[in-house]
Every structure is written in C-alpha cells, then in structure tokens.
Amino acid sequence: MKRVLVTGLGWVSSIGNDKATVSDSLRKLTHGFEAVTWLGNPKITTKVLGTVKGFRIPTPEWRDWSWPDHYTIPPEILRSLAPHGLYALCASLQALADAGLRTADIGNCETGLFTASAGSPYMLHHFLGQMHQAKAERGNPMGVVSSISGTLNFNLATYFKIQGAVCGYVSACASSNHALGHALDDIRLGRHKRALVVGAEEVQAESILPFAGMRALSVNPDPDTASRPFDRRRDGFVGTGGAVALILEEAGEAKARGAHIYAELAGWGQAGDGYNVAMSHPEGRGLATAMERAIKDAEIDARDVDYVNAHATSTPVGDRSEAIALKRVFASAERQPWVSSTKALTGHGLSMAGALETAICALCINEKFIPGCAHLEDIDPACEGLNLPRKSLSEAPAVVLNNSSGFGGSNVCLVLRSWND
Amino acid sequence: MSNAPDPATPAATSPLPEKLKRLPTSAAKNYATFCSSHDEAALTQLIIAVLVDHSPTRAGGIETWGDHIRLVEDVGFDSLAIAETVFFFEDLFNISINNEEIAQLGTIGELRAFIMRKAAVLAA
C-alpha cells in the first residue's frame, strides 16, 4: 500500500495565520481568545471567542469584506463565498505555497479535494431573510452555493480546477478528521496522487451561539481560563473558526519533487458510540475503539505513541469520557503518552477541529515539541492518571494520535508519524 | 390604479438603498436623479455602473463599450453573473424579471433597454 505524507500546511486560526505564529503560540501557550459581545446584547452569558484576526466580515455582502493584503482574491470567486470560504481559500493558497506547489499543480485528475464545514448559518440566515422579505418572488442567485453545507467544496474545486474527488464531510466535530481519513485511503489505494484537505468554520453568532442552547459553551468570562480541558472547573467549550488546509501527497511523488515533509499520515480509525445524539458515551466507547483501530491500521503498538492531541473541548462530560477512553487504550502499554488538548489555546473549531489539530500534530513532529495543557491547574479526578504536561515540552514526538468526536457519537482517530525514509 | 410599487416616490423620500452605497458615488446620484425626474441618461449611467461592478473579470473599458457588446462572449459574464445583475435590479426597483425575459438579454444594449422599459413602466 502506498504511503502518504503531509507536505503543506495553511493556517487561518485564532492563534495565528501563519506557521511561525502558530508554532510560537503553541510553545508559549499563548491563547487566541478575546472577550466579545454578541448581537449587541450584554445579557448573553457566552463572553469569550477564539477570534479570527486580520479578516473583517461586517456584513454578508462580500464587497464589505477585507482580508490580509498578501492574498489576491478575485471577485468572480468572492461572489459565491461564505466567510469561512474566504478563510479556506486563503489557507489553501498558503498550504500550496508552503508545499512548493503552484495552483496549476492541483488542477488535474490526480488531485482530490476533501473538505469539512457546517456551511454558513450566517449567510443562510441572510438569504432566507431576503427570500421571506420578497415573499420568494426573487432571490440572490449565489444564495445556495455560498451558504449550504458543501459551499467549501463547490468553491474550492472551481477555483483550483480540481478534477479528482470533490467532496465534503458533515460528521460535526469529527468532520475534518473524516476528510483526512478518506483522503488518506484514496491516496493509499492509488486513486489520487495528492489531496487538498480543508476544514473551516465561521465565528459569527449564527455558528457559535446555537451551542449555548445545548449548554455546551463556557460562561466563564475570563479569556485566560474559559477553555481549560481536563480541569475540574471547566464549564464548556469556547468557540472558534477560521480554516486550516493540508496538502497530502503520495510518498513517491513528494520525494521525487524534493518536497519538504512534515510527517507521515500513517493510519486512521473510526467508530460510533451507538449511544446519544449529542453526548459522548460516558466511558468513551466509540473513541477508544477508534483509537485502537487507528493504531492497528498504522501497524504500531500503543506503547509507540508519544503524544495524543485530545479532542477534549473543555466540556464536563466530553473530557471525562475521553480520559476514560485514553486510559483503556493505554492501560497495558509499558509507557504512557503525553496528552494535551490544544483547544485550551485555539478554542473548539467544530468541523475545522480535526484539520487544525492534525496540522498542529504535523507541526509538532516536524519542529520537535509537544504542546502543554494550557490553563490546567486543578486536574479533574476523572482525568488523573493521564500524562498531562503543564508546559510545552522540547521533546520530539515520533508517533502522534489526533482524536476527534462529533454529534451522534462519531469518533475518528488519526495517526501521524515522523518520516525518516 | 396599479398595485405595482412606484420606485420614484419611495426613493425620493427614503434613505439611499443599501446596495448602492457599495457602488461609486455617481451611481447613487444617478439613481436619485432617475427617481426624481425619470431621466433616462441617469438610468443609463446607473446601469453601466452596475454592469461594471458585476463584471466577473473586471474587464477594463466596459464603461465606454457600445450597445452591441455581448455580455457572455465579450465581457465574460456567465449565466450566474447575468442572474446576479438581474437580481440587483429586481431588488433595487422592486420588479420581477422572468426567465424568458432574461434569455433575451444578450448585449449591454438589450439589458439597458430592458431595464429602462421595466423601470419606466413602474415610474409612469
């Protein structure tokens, strides 16, 4: 079976819009949160957001948007983009440049596009409002393609002229790990030589605040402590958005062109909880199985794992179930991996989370460090026994797991490995 | 008495439509002139400003092109760009344009004449 390498990364995230800034934030445990007032209403109890810097989206009208000057975004693509589509396009262009590829290099049959987002509730709300106002007698012709789930793959495939697989994943917070897993399989099977994998979400109220109704968001107003996975006082997640793009390449192709290699994407596993529409299984049943399957797929042993980038979003139920799952998987291993959740710094990127954290794992392997558990002071007894570093470590992880879990009990685990071939 | 909304009356007394604020200031001025006096030259200039804004390729020189210029073949409009332009005018003048009418809009001149006809009927 062919092997698959990560050769390019692109970032639009709360902790940085380029590799160097993200790396610095991870090493120094500098978070990307700011206090915000939603919808002009100070009574809303959610006060903290992982903001996207350098972009301005004041209205749904693209003519009002701004983005960093070094990206040239033509009107013919802007007119059908949602805000997270703009982030995704910028992240994709950055990933291509990072990989040493030109746009023309992926406009072919041998490149696939695998995306993940929840669509744009912000744009959808706007367009449906227009529709109701006009009593459905007229509507913006770009309303559908710039708002529904799939808007990322519609637009990116068009812009980059992708002619291989073009698809999107909607398993909520497991979505972009699903996108990565399926991209990995397609390259392994020889269907593609390259894949552009992108996860993106928006930070508008329409994307984040519906989670308040589920009591899933932190109501801690302090940006310095609102997101604290595995801590006894955690009270919910802090939302974030942006976009992260990864370039995956078949190893022979990447080596032949002398590509810079971050890491190998060595395997993956998925499993359902079979339990609840929104809550994870109390003992992390599906997630543990997903990890075991990923370890088997990568043909490694649990004792080989140096670091786990946990899904832990800082919710009371989710972190606890993941801790139990981790203890089950590594119970018999001679050595325990380090575990941290970088959502303590970034916030929870929902459909984007898997892509963001897989990119973080690739960066950590390449730059030889392990991110610490930011904001962790008082470990939840249910999470004791995990190897939770309080600071980032200057240790080179050779094998890393990245966990993601989504609604309906969808769990995906990826394995990344240092590449020494 | 027609139930069709009269674009001239509300525009003369209402704030500038939000979508015109994103066009060059001359577009807003031409819109106001047309709404208050039904000046066809002002409407022509407004239509050209909207075409320039919706031109997918930002082709230079469109302002000076003649009526015979074809929206698809010469300017680079695709069917969605034409639909967007039509939607802009529907929204601005509170009019409806059906698919058969859109199919007749091949050139700048045809679009301009069509919008003038629709707007003139409403403004009469």
Q: Are A108 and A20 in contact (CB under 8 A)?
A: no
Q: How far is B118 from chain A (nearest CA, A)?
A: 16
pLDDT tens digits in sequence order for chain A, 421 residues long: 899 999 999 999 999 999 999 999 999 999 999 999 999 999 999 999 999 999 999 999 999 999 999 999 998 899 999 999 999 999 999 999 999 999 999 999 999 999 999 999 999 999 999 999 999 988 999 999 999 999 999 999 999 999 999 999 999 999 999 999 999 999 999 999 999 999 999 999 999 999 999 999 999 999 999 999 999 999 999 999 999 999 999 999 999 999 999 999 999 999 999 999 999 999 999 999 999 999 999 999 999 999 999 999 999 999 999 999 999 999 999 999 999 999 999 999 999 999 999 999 999 999 999 999 999 999 999 999 999 999 999 999 999 999 999 999 999 999 999 998 7
Query: DSSP class of residue A187?
Result: H
Question: Nearest-5° angle of CA A301, CA A275, CA A237?
Answer: 80
Give the whole-angstrom CA distance, residue A390 versus residue A236.
Answer: 20
Residues B87, A75: C-beta atoms closer than 8 Å: no
Please report which confidence band the pLDDT of residue B116 belongs to, taking 50, 70 and 90 as the band edges: confident
Domains of chain A are 4-417 (3.40.47.10)
CB pairs < 8 Å spanning A and B: 29
Closest residue on chain A to B97 (Cα): A138
Using an 8 Å CB-CB cutoff, list chain A residues near B19: 61
Identity of the residue in B19, B58, B84 whose CB atom sits nearest the CB atom of A142: B84
Query: Is A348 an active-site residue?
Result: yes
pLDDT digits over A87-127, tens only? 999 999 999 999 999 999 999 999 999 999 999 999 999 99
Q: Which of A173, A361, A373, A383 is catalytic?
A: A173
Contact B91 A138 (CB under 8 A): yes
The ipTM value here is 0.78
Domains and CATH numbers, chain B: 8-123 (1.10.1200.10)
Contact A138 B90 (CB under 8 A): yes
Q: In Å, what is the CA distance from A52 to each residue of A34, A68, A296, A349, B114?
A: 10, 12, 37, 11, 44
Looking at the complex, report in whole angstroms how far the Cα of residue A77 sits from the nearest Cα belonging to chain B: 9
Nearest residue of A to residue B22, measured between CA atoms: A63
Cross-chain residue pair B87–A76, CB shorter than 8 Å: no
Residue pair A311/A341 in contact (Cβ under 8 Å)? The answer is: yes
Would residue A373 show up in a list of annotated catalytic residues for this protein? no
**A64 and B58: CB-CB below 8 Å?**
no
Other C-beta atoms within 10 Å of A109: how many? 11
pLDDT of residue A16: 98
Contact call for A140 and B84, based on CB within 8 A = yes
Q: How far apart are CA A377 and CA A379, in angstroms?
A: 6
Cβ partners under 8 Å of residue B115, min gap 6: B43, B47, B89, B93
Minimum Cα–Cα distance from B53: chain A residue: A75
Reduce the DSSP state of residue A353 to 3 states and report it.
Answer: helix
- Select from A76, A80, A140 the residue whose CB has the most chain B CBs within 10 Å, as the one to mutate to test that interface: A76
pLDDT band at B8 (very low <50, low <70, confident <90, very high): very low
Q: What percent of chain A has pLDDT over 70?
A: 100
Q: How far is CA B116 from the centre of its chain?
A: 8
Cβ atoms of A176 and A13 closer than 8 Å:
no
Q: What is the pLDDT of residues A125-163, one digit of tens each?
A: 999 999 999 999 889 999 999 999 999 999 999 999 999
Q: Cα–Cα distance between A94 and A117 in angstroms, integer?
A: 19
Helix (H, G, I), strand (E, B) or coil at A340: strand
Distance from CA of A142 to the nearest CA of B (A): 8
DSSP string, chain B: ---S--SHHHHHHSPPPGGGGGS-HHHHHHHHHHHHH--HHHHHHHHHHHHHHH-TT--TTGGG--TT-BTTTTT---HHHHHHHHHHHHHHHT----HHHHHT--BHHHHHHHHHHHHHHHH-
C-alpha B71/C-alpha A320 separation (Å) is: 60
